[in-house]
């Protein structure tokens, strides 16, 4: 063999261990960190003093023990000291390389956003083009550590299909966390039609002011109707124009009127992420889920505290840490129930799971699995999880969406597109409607659901209420009755997002019709029956939250029929959950884009 060729081969082989060593920390970052900090650590940690100026030992120690107060889990059980140091060294090296130079002309892919600080979108692709779709009113796409020094405009590539009105979006920069920092509205822009949902074109929005240094940059969907898709945006020093600034995204305590009462919004807590659900553990303590995978304890006037030791969560698309409820007898038994999207090993397969545990101090203990699907029902879909649940005596009702495959909703052999009933300890009641039907899952209570986003049991009447996301149009309120088929996708009041028909029929004999449906879709989320004394005119009305329309609705019902609707408030953020506290006052969890909890109290 030629000596020069042999020497080259020997040199190449000698590189293999070093290449492998470099790949191991990158793989660990992708597996353990990227779901919260994005796939680009250079962008995520550009302004982190710990990563850029701390030594490797300090950073490794934080990786192992976590930062519970900031929602960062501990990885000491996953990484030993040597592995943590290797990851810390790789992070510092990657960030050093990324921070050399300006971000002018840097193109940022839309899907590289900070997942746990963003909401109201879905990732998809068309051929080789990966992009975000369904960006709607209240959607917020947030990107950490963007250096705006010298930036005068953003160039962006978007698509918007036929039959849609223009959508307006805002660009807002943030500094600081948990509501203590500042926000800078930088401009708004309308999005005209481009000729198709995958027909992309490039536009520019000029910034109303120039900022220096690193910020969290958010693109926020505003009013105007319809949705749009986003491929990428780029930071530019070229001038540009915008369509003005109409909203500051500051939500101060304020006085409102609705449903015959004057009321005030009082902030109870805020996090730097997306709230998904909340409940009370006692008269003073709220417990809340952050979709990104943190369980928070909130007390007014105190900084939120994270609960350590909760299950590992799959984060992607609509997946994450979802619903939380204290057991009705929590004061005696201490049980807290969680629904979350569980990953299956190192694959992208995932599925909704329900567990219960107790909280001692700030730690999750005594965990028990209440419901977990069989392995064959874990899929790589990131959509339509449902995830809400509620108690009815000894029973637990919970909903699961059809995970984006419409026909699943009519198949009794799978759990998708169904509302289920089990005992609160996970046992299956023998008197469920399909418990004795060969091949049917015995937990199924009802079928034919697309994506049940709200579930509430009226303890006074035992009626079970659900809200459901339709496609384009067709959001519903349903009364859930045993064994009934709610029709999806065979009957629906909505159409597909591209304008094609899902079904020729809105209703049909043999299928349960909604108690109310909406077109356009308000993006309904959770609901609760108000039974408090503070607002007498609201008593025995449903409070229904919405995402896209950012509304809290007051729905009048009589013997299971919807007989009236009013809007109590709107335009203050995507309202993900609504509950009634021990004090008889409504509480809402909303995102704008930080997660915030507000109490509605009578105005004097």
Alpha helices (H) in 283-334, listed in sequence order: 330-333
* Cα–Cα distance measured from residue 445 to residue 442, given in angstroms and rounded to the nearest whole number: 8
Provide φ and ψ at 92, rounded to 5°: -60, -40
The position carrying tokens 């996090």 is 271
Candidates 383, 371, 386, 392; CA nearest to 419 is: 386
Rounded Cα gap, residues 256 and 453, in angstroms: 27
Statement: residue 13 has pLDDT above 50: no
Q: What is the pTM of this model?
A: 0.82
CATH class of the structural domain 21-98: mainly alpha
Right CATH number for 255-602 from 3.40.50.300, 2.120.10.30, 2.30.40.10, 3.10.20.600?
Answer: 2.120.10.30
* Residues 365 and 357 sit within 8 Å (Cβ to Cβ): yes
The predicted model gives 251-277 an average pLDDT of 89
Report the percent of the chain where pLDDT is more than 90: 64
Please confirm, yes or no, whether 604 is among the known catalytic residues. Answer: no
In 436-594 the beta strands, taken as DSSP E runs, fall at: 444-447, 452-457, 464-468, 475-479, 516-518, 524-530, 541-546, 551-558, 561-570, 574-580, 586-591
> Pick the catalytic residue: 214, 323, 330, 384?
384
Give 121-130's long-range contacts (Cβ < 8 A, gap of 24+). Answer: 122/317, 122/318, 122/382, 122/383, 123/316, 123/317, 123/382, 126/198, 129/198, 129/200, 129/231, 130/231
Count other C-beta atoms under 10 Å from residue 112's C-beta: 17
In angstroms, rounded to a whole number, what is the distance separating the alpha carbons of residues 401 and 450?
A: 5
The contacts of residue 12 (CB under 8 Å, 6+ apart) are none
Q: What is the pLDDT of residues 512-567, one digit of tens each?
A: 999 999 998 999 999 999 999 999 999 999 999 999 889 999 999 999 999 999 99
pLDDT tier, 156 (very low <50, low <70, confident <90, very high otherwise) = very high
- pLDDT at site 548: 87
Between 100 and 72, the more confident residue is 72
Q: How confident is the model at residue 264 (pLDDT cuts 50, 70, 90)?
A: very high
Residues of the chain with CATH 2.60.120.260: 107-236
Whole-angstrom distance, CA of residue 38 vs CA of residue 427 = 39
* Closest among 427, 335, 318 to 379, alpha carbons compared: 318
CATH 3.50.50.60 for domain 107-236: no
Q: How far apart are CA 415 and CA 567, in angstroms?
A: 34
Residue 95 has pLDDT above 80, yes or no: no
Q: Rounded to whole angstroms, how far apart are CA atoms 482 and 447?
A: 10
Note the pLDDT tens digit of each residue in 284-340: 999 999 999 999 999 877 888 999 999 999 998 899 999 999 999 999 999 999 999
Take residue 266 and report the two structure tokens written for it. Answer: 């009082």
Tell me the C-alpha distance between 406 and 447, whole Å.
12
- Mean pLDDT along residues 118-142: 88
């Amino acid at each position: 063999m030629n000596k020069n060729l042999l020497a080259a081969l020997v040199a190449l082989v000698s590189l293999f261990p070093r290449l492998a060593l470099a790949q191991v920390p990158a793989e660990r970052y992708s597996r353990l960190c990227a779901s919260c900090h994005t796939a680009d650590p250079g962008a995520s940690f550009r302004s982190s003093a710990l990563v850029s100026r701390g030594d490797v030992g300090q950073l490794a120690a934080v990786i192992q023990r976590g930062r519970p107060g900031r929602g960062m889990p501990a990885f000491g059980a996953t990484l030993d000291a040597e592995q943590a140091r290797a990851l810390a060294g790789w992070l510092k090296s990657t960030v050093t390389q990324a921070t050399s130079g300006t971000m002018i002309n840097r193109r940022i892919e839309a899907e590289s956003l900070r997942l746990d600080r963003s909401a109201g979108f879905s990732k998809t692709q068309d051929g080789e083009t990966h992009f975000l779709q369904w960006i709607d009113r209240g959607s917020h796409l947030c990107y950490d550590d963007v250096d705006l020094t010298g930036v005068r405009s953003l160039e962006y590539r978007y698509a918007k299909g036929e039959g849609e009105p223009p959508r307006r979006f805002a660009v807002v920069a943030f500094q600081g966390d948990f509501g203590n920092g500042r926000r800078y509205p930088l401009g708004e822009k309308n999005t005209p039609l481009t000729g198709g949902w995958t027909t992309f074109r490039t536009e520019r929005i000029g910034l109303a002011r120039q900022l220096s240094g690193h910020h969290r940059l958010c693109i926020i969907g505003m009013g105007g109707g319809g949705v749009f898709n986003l491929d990428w945006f780029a930071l530019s020093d070229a001038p540009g124009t915008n369509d003005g600034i109409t909203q500051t995204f500051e939500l101060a305590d304020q006085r409102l009127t609705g449903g015959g009462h004057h009321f005030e919004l009082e902030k109870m807590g805020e996090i730097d992420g997306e709230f998904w659900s909340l409940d009370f553990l006692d008269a003073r303590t709220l417990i809340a889920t952050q979709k990104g995978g943190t369980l928070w304890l909130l007390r007014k006037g105190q900084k939120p505290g994270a609960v350590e030791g909760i299950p590992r969560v799959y984060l992607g698309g609509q997946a994450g840490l979802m619903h939380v409820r204290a057991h009705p007898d929590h004061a005696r038994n201490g049980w807290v129930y969680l629904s979350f999207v569980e990953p299956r090993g190192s694959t992208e397969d995932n599925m909704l799971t329900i567990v219960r545990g107790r909280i001692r101090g700030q730690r999750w203990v005594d965990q028990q699995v209440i419901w977990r699907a069989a392995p064959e029902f874990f899929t790589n879909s990131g959509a339509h999880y449902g995830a809400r649940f509620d108690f009815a005596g000894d029973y637990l009702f919970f909903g699961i969406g059809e995970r984006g495959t419409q026909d699943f909703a009519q198949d009794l052999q799978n759990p998708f597109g169904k509302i289920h009933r089990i005992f609160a300890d996970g046992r299956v009641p023998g008197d469920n409607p399909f418990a004795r039907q060969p091949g049917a899952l015995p937990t199924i209570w009802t079928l034919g659901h697309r994506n049940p986003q709200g579930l509430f049991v009226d303890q006074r009447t035992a009626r079970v209420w659900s809200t459901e996301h339709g496609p384009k149009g067709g959001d519903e309120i349903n009364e859930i009755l045993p064994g009934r088929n709610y029709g999806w996708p065979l009957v629906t009041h909505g159409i597909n997002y591209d304008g094609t028909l899902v079904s020729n029929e809105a209703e049909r004999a043999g299928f349960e019709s909604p108690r109310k449906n909406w077109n356009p879709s308000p993006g309904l989320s959770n609901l609760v029956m108000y039974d408090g004394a503070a607002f007498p005119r609201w008593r025995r009305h449903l409070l229904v939250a919405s995402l896209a329309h950012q509304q809290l609705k007051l729905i009048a019902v009589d013997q299971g029929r919807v007989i009236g609707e009013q809007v109590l408030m709107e335009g203050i953020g995507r309202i993900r959950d609504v509950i009634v506290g021990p004090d008889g006052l409504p509480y809402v969890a909303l995102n704008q884009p930080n997660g915030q909890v507000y109490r509605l109290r009578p105005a004097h």
